[in-house]
Amino acid sequence: MKNYPNLFAAAGIPQAEIDKRIALAFHTIFEDETEKFYFDMGDGHGYMMDTGNFDARTEGMSYGMMMAVQMDRKDIFDKLWLFSWDYMHQTGGRYEGYFAWSVKPGGEKRNSEGPAPDGEEYYAMALFFASSRWGDGEAPYDYSNQAKTILRHCVHQSEMVEGGSPMWNPDNHYIKFIPEWEWSDPSYHLMHFYELFAELADERDAEFWKAAAKASREYLTISCDKNTGMAPEYAMYDGSKELTRGHGNFYSDAYRVAMNIGLDAAWNGKTPALSAIADNLQNTLTRLAPDDDFHVYTTEGETLEEKALHPVAIIATTAAGSLAANGENAKEWVLKFWNTPLRKGDRRYYDNCLYFFCLLMLAGEFKIF
């Protein structure tokens, strides 16, 4: 059995308190009548609502499925998957096989027909874990088959569907921000997932996924600032900021990079270049926001006037980077996160999704199944 590092325990926090915190966080997100953002529709469907944008999106749906499989909650997992299948899955057109990234709560209307690749990669990984943990059932609960089909479309959409575009660039193996645009989002690069896709997806694509894992680790070293460790929200294939849409700063999406680097280290071991990113980011944020007064920052570390929209997410993900970090601030970030409560209010969805993932990671409980 794989040994996952428990940085909370290493920092002196009793295991009983760690277990209690995980259970409370899951209860808050899925069951607490005031603070939850999972909603059971009572007909076999359930959805995660983005409480800041008032929609259900593939990001949150697939995140919820990953939370459910990690916590052995097949009941919740199947309701989220059925909602995704019935209300978001595309059965025709150029997006056939993909999932509409945003729908109204309840699924009665799609806000967009196009997909978001970060949703697809989380769907696939959660489904593979569900297959391993609970076994495959009848469609659409034939989890492993569904995961393979999703990834088949992600890589081969242009061959499978007229007018379709793949979610990964076939030449450089980078995940795209959306299928039609030839640039990326550093926080979409889940190299630790791709290592498993190489083993679990179609055999013919094994080498593709191995190459994607390698390419993503390298991409983070060119898209994150070499001094601050900060990634832009969107970046070109050469690592430079994507500036035409105003997403070149260290802002909401970009916070997830540290979390991804941390989980890759927990699952596959530390990579020196990625550890340096985690160290630099922790050092930079310790210097820029000693009192946790977080702002929007340029990737070079300039503080902008606008306040961070998701300050709890910054703390959680930067702390998760401690799984990869080697620097003097790693333990302090773990303790800072431990002393940070879940977020309340309209913006709690994004912060608390990342909070829960990082809680599992730092407790050694975000596991491969």
Tens of pLDDT, residues 21-56: 999 999 999 999 999 999 999 999 999 999 999 999
In whole angstroms, how far apart are CA 221 and each of 30, 229, 238, 300, 324?
Answer: 36, 9, 11, 14, 14
Catalytic annotation, pick one of 59, 78, 118, 225? 59
Mapped onto helix, strand or coil, the DSSP state of residue 307 is: strand
pLDDT value at residue 272: 98
pLDDT value at residue 148: 98
Residue 315's domain is classified under what CATH number? 1.50.10.10
In a domain, 326, yes or no: yes
pLDDT value at residue 54: 96
Catalytic annotation, pick one of 55, 185, 205, 253? 253
pLDDT value at residue 235: 98
In a domain, 121, yes or no: no
In a domain, 115, yes or no: no
In a domain, 257, yes or no: yes
pLDDT value at residue 2: 83
The answer to pTM > 0.95 is yes
Whether 253 is catalytic is: yes
pLDDT value at residue 245: 87
In a domain, 358, yes or no: yes
Helix or strand holding residue 39 (H, E): strand 38-40
DSSP string, 120-176: HHHHHHHHHHHHHHH---STT--HHHHHHHHHHHHHHHHHHSTT---SB-TTT-PBP
What tokens does 115 get? 């997909």
In a domain, 11, yes or no: yes
Q: Are 216 and 191 in contact (CB under 8 A)?
A: yes
Q: Nearest to residue 229, comparing CAs of 281, 162, 194, 279? A: 281
Q: Are 161 and 115 in contact (CB under 8 A)?
A: no
Domain that holds residue 272: 1-36+225-234+249-369
In a domain, 271, yes or no: yes
The total of structural domains in the chain comes to: 1
Strand ranges across the sheet with 110-112: 56-57, 102-103, 110-112
pLDDT value at residue 41: 97
Helix or strand holding residue 79 (H, E): helix 74-87
DSSP 8-state secondary structure symbol assigned to residue 287: H
Query: In whole angstroms, what is the distance from residue 19 CA to residue 231 CA?
Result: 32
Contacts of 311 (CB under 8 A, 6+ apart): 292, 294, 351
Query: In whole angstroms, what is the distance from residue 97 CA to residue 149 CA?
Result: 8
User: Which stretches in the chain have pLDDT values below 70?
Assistant: none
In a domain, 344, yes or no: yes
Q: Nearest to residue 68, comparing CAs of 112, 18, 126? A: 126
